[in-house]
Amino acid sequence: MIIYGVAILATCTLSGLYLGSLLGEIIGVDANVGGVGIAMLLLLTAVHYLPNELSSTSISSKGVLFWNAMYIPIVVAMAAKQNVIAALDGGLLALLAGTLAVVVSFALVPIISKMIKREDSE
Amino acid sequence: MIIDTLFAILIKNSILTAFVTVGVIMWVSYFLSDKLTQGKFHGSAIAISLGLVLAYIGGLTHEGSRGLANIEIFSGMAIVGGAMFRDFAIVATAFGANLNDLKSAGLAGIVSLFLGVLVSFVIGAAMAVAFGYTDPVSVVTIGAGAVTYIVGPVTGAALNAGSDIIAISVAAGLVKSILVMVSTPMIAGRIGLDNPQSALIFGGLMGTTSGVAAGLAATDPKLVPYGAMTATFYTGLGCLLCPSVLYFATVALLG
């Protein structure tokens, strides 16, 4: 049943967020630490242990695939609710700090990729 | 009467109204992508940019902090685009992802996470100093804002920063997040962002969940789970490091 897929997906998400919250409390920060990542691993574990129920052709998997396909529309809604005005109101300092952080981080992507590859091949 | 009744229904069923709104944005975007750019600019990239433009208009015409969702009939956008559905859909993208690729996040993930937080913080803090701020609390709060718009206010609150400083730090984080959304698909080719490994590194370096989620969606949705895997640890790490180690280091540096 489709609801089984949706229920499994929701269970994994809730469990992951719960564990991420606990992890945050343990290390003493006011934030969810790794919740979404833990949830993704839980989902893949569920797929592993319920191969028939969650094979990509099963009916249950349609409940997961629907939300998978809704990802981009949800991200578009997320873009539409951003506080763009506040970003622009922060003045030149905020604009420069945010922009430079992005530019330098972009530049680091290929550098770290190369570094890790070298590490792997050694 | 006809209009009032329509508005009442749209507001009462705000999530359904949001589905229609997003559907229209997607249709217009894919149409523009096809006709104006021959598919060169991906439809989803246009849709995300259009969403940001609508967020700007919503913020301009109506009081509030939720962009287009400031307008009552579009209030459902805040739910559909909120953290709950965002996280739910990100987890769903892991369906079909390669478990071994995700697990190999190890070293690459840790290096990019620490470097990502550190680099953004240092740039934000250096900018604050360049603009004449000398007290460590303000410098650290603004630096933390360049990490993410959540780390900024969390750090500011922990260090008792003024609300004007916290506002600047939130704005820096928002600039970062929005810029990642818009510019990732344009720059992806040049930084080799086309495989799970580089997506893991990208997620760890950028860290802003919304930015990474939207940036990868517009680049290649298959990469989303890998970027999300590392980005999900970034804000927590930032909240851990900024008000502690990085604050002490800043105090030591600024005397």
- The tally of domains found in chain B comes to 2
| Per-residue pLDDT, A29 | 82
B17-46: buried (b, 16+ CB within 10 Å) or exposed (e) per residue?
bbbebbeebbeebbeebeeeeeeebbbbbb
| Per-residue pLDDT, A90 | 79
| Per-residue pLDDT, B100 | 78
Residues B74, B103, single domain; the answer is no
3-state secondary structure of B112: helix
Looking at the complex, does the CB of residue B107 fall below 8 Å from at least one CB of chain A? yes
| Per-residue pLDDT, B146 | 96
Q: Per-domain residue ranges for chain A?
A: 1-70, 83-122
Rounded CA separation B132/A58 (Å): 61
For B178-209, how does the pLDDT look when each residue is reduced to its tens digit (9 = 90+)? 999 999 999 999 999 999 999 999 999 999 98
- Asked if residue B120 is part of any domain, the answer here is yes
Tokens (6 digits) for A98: 């945010």
Residues B70, B141, single domain; the answer is no
- Asked if residue B88 is part of any domain, the answer here is no
Residue A54 pLDDT class (50, 70, 90 cuts): confident
Residue A120 pLDDT class (50, 70, 90 cuts): low
Residue A106 pLDDT class (50, 70, 90 cuts): very high
CB contact (8 A) between residue B127 and residue A90 = no
For range A48-62, the mean pLDDT: 87
A13, A35, A36: which is closest to A23 by C-alpha?
Answer: A35
| Per-residue pLDDT, A122 | 56
Show Cβ contacts of residue B60 under 8 Å, excluding neighbours closer than 6 positions: A85
| Per-residue pLDDT, A57 | 85
Compute how many other C-beta atoms are within 10 angstroms of the C-beta atom of residue A45.
Answer: 12
Residues B197, B130, single domain; the answer is yes
DSSP output for B5-52: HHHHHHHHTHHHHHHHHHHHHHHHHHHHHHHHHTTSS-HHHHHHHHHH
Q: Which residues 118-157 of B have a C-beta within 8 angstroms of A? A: 119-120, 123-124, 127-128, 131, 142-143, 145-147, 150-151, 154
- Asked if residue B187 is part of any domain, the answer here is yes
| CB-based contact A74:B85 (threshold 8 Å) | yes
Q: Which residues 199-228 of B have a C-beta within 8 angstroms of A? A: 201-202, 205-206, 209-210, 213-214, 217, 221, 224-225, 228
Range of the domain at B147: 99-254
